[in-house]
Structure 1
Amino acid sequence: MEQQWNRRAFMVAAAGAAGAAAGAAHAQGAGGGAVRALGGGSITDVAGLRVGHYTDTRRPTGCTVIIAEGGATGGVDVRGAAPGTRETDLLNPVNMVEKVHAVVLTGGSAFGLDAASGVMRYLEEKKIGFDVGVAFVPIVPSAVLFDLGVGDASVRPDAAAGYQACKSATPDAPQEGNVGAGAGATVGKLYGPKRAMKGGIGSASLTVAGVTVGAIVAVNAVGDVIDPATGRILAGARTADGKSLLDTRAAILAGDLPRSMREGAATTIGVVATDARLTKAQAQKIAAMAHDGLARTINPIHTMLDGDTIFALGTGASGKPANVMLLGVMAAEAMAIAVQRAILAARTVEGYPAAVDFIA
């Protein structure tokens, strides 16, 4: 049940992401395993979006904001049993508000939801929001992950952090790894923090038939992260001596369960977006299909310990109508690539080795 892991290089291809996803090349690692060349691009390849990170210097934590100043049709799908969210009910297709203006992904557990207040203040200053006659009310759905166990738990993203993330937002490709909502993310946590590894944040995009789909995800999972093309574990729970990867799924099936489990101590959160025109019902379906990307790359996923949440946004910038079959397939693929990029971009913090430099 052990998988040996040595230092190895990885390559992020800058070629067209659709082609890379369809037939990724493989590089031979020092440990004899294949490492896929992952597609390029990011969620900001979707016209109408900007992304900004705030990374706290006091401990590994932070927040990430995805801004759609022109408004975007929104949807959400929550699969984990321990979510921490804000403004998700209004995304239900039967409810009134059609457009959202930003999405916040943040560390800090439920405390981190305060970051959305700073995002609202930033947007209100720019008169961006739902016009209620006497004010513009920014619509900012948000989701949190649990990173309080990494460093000082009293340090968590707040309204000032959310505001600063907005100020840093650009249409350029966002940084990946130990930044923003991925700063304190860890993975492979079922057997406790001493056997876990570093997670992070990653992004990717695909363009097919003139339509672009992008994804961004903060990977903070109970389970292991896997390359779905090879089945190789990239990062996850380690054996008791810390020297090898355990394979959490196989250990569970063999009856090796931890003595105690802390609910809500994980959660992978992300956004998929497209420049196609969406209805709220279509956005909700695409968010649901994007969870398939998590299921391909994280095992186990959607557990009682996770609060896995994916938002979907449609900017409509391409003017093209939605083909939900195509967009859902693209969303799942972009999400799967983004998960792997998050792990390959992550770097070691105290107590949590990263995939790229974990020595067997």
Structure 2
Amino acid sequence: MIVNSSQGSIVDVPGLRVGHYTLSERLTGCSVVLAPDGAVGAVDVRGAAPGTRETDLLDPANLVDKVHAVLLSGGSAFGLDAATGVVRWLDEQGIGFETGYGRVPIVPAAVLFDLPVVREGDNPTARPNAEAGYAACEAASTAPPASGNVGAGAGACVGKLFGLNRCMKGGIGNASVRVGPWVVGALVACNAVGDVIDPATGQILAGARTVDGQNLLDTQRAFLQGERGNRPLPGTNTTIGVVATNAMLTKAQAKRLAMSAHDGLARSIRPAHTTLDGDTLFALATGTENCPVDLMLLTVMAAEATALATVDAISRARTTNTTLGCIPAAVEFQNEHGHHESD
């Protein structure tokens, strides 16, 4: 049985707003995390097939230390176009890096591959564009954002190492963790090639199914036992997300936060960070809490929030009928079949 164990969301971090835009023409969309006052930013890319924008400037050795939004999008490389709409929206608000000749919004972005997930009657060429990114900004607020198959998680799937016909629904999820004055929140769009695990129990929540579709296969065990399927192409999977804190961090410290957040992916996705994934996590530090930083504590919180947000993404997903067939979601699958892993 799935229990939604996440508490709170990334907007529990003061200074952030989140908005989703889901296309009506196809199962895809984008999600934006806005930091209108700027936030110290960093990124850590662990997957071997990423699709990203403006990540080099987040290196601690480089000049710009604050970003104004992070975009997560479906649509593969096409979805990077949605960042243009986020830049336009921020420009209209007068938000950006001051150059002396105008303010330039800094908007890093990452995308996931959801192109095969099409319903009957959908437009397969519809992808998140600049208008979608702008609309996500218009929808952004400090209210807890929706989880499941919305925004960047609309077309997400997991458990694809043995073929799309045996996968299950992924999605986008939220969580936050509080300790003393600190809060760390995470927003994760899970489109992994591997299975999603409940770290608290070790139970597989969603992933590759057996050939008859009735049970969960356990991708890692099957792979280690020598089973091989129709392996998807590199870059056609990815988990992307944002982890954020109210702490006042340097870029180097924010980088450590992003690195530790990947531990949360490793706990909740099996296998994670593969050659077929483009796993990318951004870190944001809004600096509204100026107590002396306990970086060790914050990194532990980041891993926990990321794992919880990944579980939230799966627990909020819903079954979808597509041209690939019915892609079941964890909740309906377990209600119908119970939790069974193949022997």
Same fold by TM-score, threshold 0.5 exceeded? yes
Alignment of 1:95-244 (within 5 A): 95-151=62-118, 152-244=123-215
Q: Is the partner of 2:262 in helix, strand or coil? A: helix
Counterpart residue identity of residue 239, structure 1: T
From 291, 316, 321, the equivalent of 1:345 is: 316
Counterpart residue identity of residue 205, structure 1: S
Deviations 1:247-296 (A, max 9, x none): 00000000001244311110000000000001000001110000000000
Q: What value does the CA root-mean-square deviation take over the aligned residues?
A: 0.9
| 2:22 counterpart residue number | 55
Q: Is the partner of 2:69 in helix, strand or coil? A: strand
1:153 Cα deviation from its structure 2 partner: 3.6
Give me the whole-angstrom Cα distance separating, in 2, the residues matched to 1:11 and 1:246. Answer: 21
Give me the whole-angstrom Cα distance separating, in 2, the residues matched to 1:260 and 1:171. Answer: 40
Give me the whole-angstrom Cα distance separating, in 1, the residues matched to 2:182 and 2:159. Answer: 35
TM-aligned CA distance change 1:208 to 1:98, over 3 Å: same
Give me the whole-angstrom Cα distance separating, in 2, the residues matched to 1:355 and 1:345. Answer: 9
Q: Is the partner of 1:110 in helix, strand or coil? A: helix
Q: Contact between 2:163 and 2:231, CA under 8 Å: does it hold in 1?
A: no
Q: Contact between 2:161 and 2:231, CA under 8 Å: does it hold in 1?
A: no
- Unaligned runs of 5+ residues in structure 2 are 338-343
1:342 Cα deviation from its structure 2 partner: 0.5
Counterpart residue identity of residue 254, structure 1: Q
TM-score of the two chains, using structure 1 as the length reference: 0.89
Q: Contact between 1:277 and 1:317, CA under 8 Å: does it hold in 2?
A: yes
Give me the whole-angstrom Cα distance separating, in 2, the residues matched to 1:104 and 1:95. Answer: 20
Give me the whole-angstrom Cα distance separating, in 1, the residues matched to 2:175 and 2:200. Answer: 17
Counterpart residue identity of residue 228, structure 1: P
In the alignment, structure 1 residue 80 sits paired with structure 2 residue 47: yes
- Unaligned runs of 5+ residues in structure 1 are 1-7, 13-37
| 2:235 counterpart residue number | 264
In the alignment, structure 1 residue 335 sits paired with structure 2 residue 340: no
Deviations 1:62-91 (A, max 9, x none): 000000000000010000000000000000
| 2:244 counterpart residue number | 273
Q: Is the partner of 1:282 in helix, strand or coil? A: helix
Give me the whole-angstrom Cα distance separating, in 1, the residues matched to 2:8 and 2:188. Answer: 14
From 277, 280, 283, the equivalent of 1:312 is: 283
Counterpart residue identity of residue 306, structure 2: M
Give me the whole-angstrom Cα distance separating, in 1, the residues matched to 2:292 and 2:154. Answer: 36
TM-score of the two chains, using structure 2 as the length reference: 0.94
Q: Is the partner of 1:316 in helix, strand or coil? A: strand
Give me the whole-angstrom Cα distance separating, in 1, the residues matched to 2:331 and 2:26. Answer: 21
Q: Is the partner of 1:77 in helix, strand or coil? A: strand
Q: Contact between 2:3 and 2:315, CA under 8 Å: does it hold in 1?
A: no
Give me the whole-angstrom Cα distance separating, in 1, the residues matched to 2:18 and 2:250. Answer: 23
Q: Is the partner of 2:312 in helix, strand or coil? A: helix
Q: Is the partner of 2:40 in helix, strand or coil? A: strand
Give me the whole-angstrom Cα distance separating, in 2, the residues matched to 1:68 and 1:320. Answer: 20
Give me the whole-angstrom Cα distance separating, in 1, the residues matched to 2:82 and 2:185. Answer: 23
1:324 Cα deviation from its structure 2 partner: 1.3
Deviations 1:177-215 (A, max 9, x none): 010000000000111110000000000001112110000
Deviations 1:207-261 (A, max 9, x none): 1121100000000000000011211100000011111100000000000012443
Identity of aligned residues (%): 63
1:40 Cα deviation from its structure 2 partner: 1.2
The aligned length equals 327
Give me the whole-angstrom Cα distance separating, in 1, the residues matched to 2:65 and 2:203. Answer: 41
